[in-house]
Amino acid sequence: MVPFGGWDMPLQYSGGTLSEHLACRSSAVAFDVSHLGTVRLQGSTAFDLLQDALTNDLRKIAAGRAQYTHLLDPADGSVLDDIIVWWVADDVFDVMPNASNTERVIAAIGGRETTGERAVVAVQGPDARRRLSDVFPEAAEVARFRVATLDWHGVPCTVAGTGYTGEDGVEIAVPVDSAAALWNAITGAGVQPAGLGARDTLRLEAGLPLHGHELGPGITTLEAGLGWVIGWDKAGFRGREVLERQRETGVRRLLRGISTEGRRPPRGDCSVFADGQPIGVTTSGNFSPVLGHGIALAFLPPDTADGTEVAIDVRGSSLPGVVTKIPFVAKK
């Protein structure tokens, strides 16, 4: 157990991070992600409040769908938080911030925090839906980026086809009084528990950003290579003017992948060199259990070509690598 965002969270269970990671890629695992925030907005003004604050365009979806989006700092366009919005009903939205950013999100959009009223269990992996169907068959049917309010033995749950692993699966928000019972039912159906360690290596293989690393102060949506979450066709959103200027002038750095040699893991905040000259810095790095070698995300000059040979300075020692496309591990 480790402190994380004000919570005590499982880093790993008895099987260890490597076992949990591989189980998610080959079968199914369950994560307790109750540390993620939940802010509920409802009523006739909820849609407009979110549309005016967040980068993505809610007109692209409808009730019963989920959308990935960003909340920007209006001064410099950097990403204050990356968020999933669950559009629960016609005028009901559950906004899901990162663990430590809930107060910041409430200050920007309002709403009522409901984090303490529910737990969230993420069931992920190619076998997740089959295993879940033995316990909560209606939840197993919630499709990718869909949202549904469902009943589990008399307990109302909100289920979304979302996750943070690059695998198929769902996330289930369940009232806290019933959370342990649901968890035990899911793990009793053969779904292996998994902790934060595996969640991080899985999201890294999938090339997914982590706030505080690939997103955060001084980092814009465009620099992170996530321009698809910007609703340029809507009237406006916080930080739009900054991003418009950056779109016109071009970014000075861009998030890229690096595959390194051998099992030695690269780390974040390491300098990246090409031809002996510093060209960027890593944001995250680790050993890839699926690929069997190190991988890293890094901010590099936007014209850096795939296949460029680089070296990462890891505590004074040079680790050779090659610039590559992300995700490192692609799933259908």
Q: b/e per residue, 61-96, with b = 16+ CB within 10 A?
A: beebbbbbbbbbbeeebbbbbbbbbbbbeeebbbbb
Strand ranges of the sheet holding 112-113, from the earlier edge strand across to the other edge: 66-72, 79-89, 92-96, 39-42, 112-113
What are the structural domains, with CATH classification, of the chain?
2-205 (3.30.1360.120), 252-332 (2.40.30.110)
- pLDDT tens-digit profile of 292-327? 999 999 999 999 999 999 999 999 999 999 999 999
DSSP 214-250: TBBTTBBTTTTT-GGG--TTSS--TTHHHHHHHHHH-
Pairing of β 29-32 and β 192-194? parallel
Confidence band of 5 (pLDDT split at 50, 70, 90): confident
The pLDDT value given to residue 152 = 98
Picking from 263, 232, 233, the residue whose alpha carbon sits closest to that of residue 246 is: 232
- Spatial separation of the C-alpha atoms in residues 95 and 222, rounded to whole Å: 22
Per the CB < 8 A criterion, the answer to whether 259 and 321 are in contact is yes
List, for residues 175-223, the tens digit of each pLDDT value: 999 999 999 999 999 999 999 999 999 999 999 999 999 999 999 999 9
Residue 10 and residue 2: Cα distance in Å, rounded?
Answer: 6
Q: Where are the alpha helices (DSSP H) in the chain?
A: 17-26, 46-53, 102-109, 128-133, 137-140, 176-188, 196-205, 240-249
At 263 the pLDDT is 96
- pLDDT for residue 106 is more than 90: yes
φ, ψ of residue 79 to 5 degrees: the values are: -85, 110
- Range of lowest pLDDT (1-10, 128-137, 246-255, 276-285): 1-10
- The pTM assigned to this predicted structure is 0.96
Query: Cβ–Cβ contacts within 10 Å for residue 275, how many?
Result: 9
For residues 78-103, give the mean pLDDT: 95
pLDDT value for 110: 95
Q: How far is CA 107 from the centre of its chain?
A: 22
Whether residue 100 has pLDDT greater than 80 = yes
State the Cα angle at 158 between 156 and 159, rounded to 5°. Answer: 130
pLDDT band at 332 (very low <50, low <70, confident <90, very high): low
At 250 the pLDDT is 97
Convert the pLDDT of each residue in 250-299 to its tens digit. Answer: 999 999 999 999 999 999 999 999 999 999 999 999 999 999 999 999 99
Q: What is the tally of helices (H) and strands (E) in the chain?
A: 8, 19
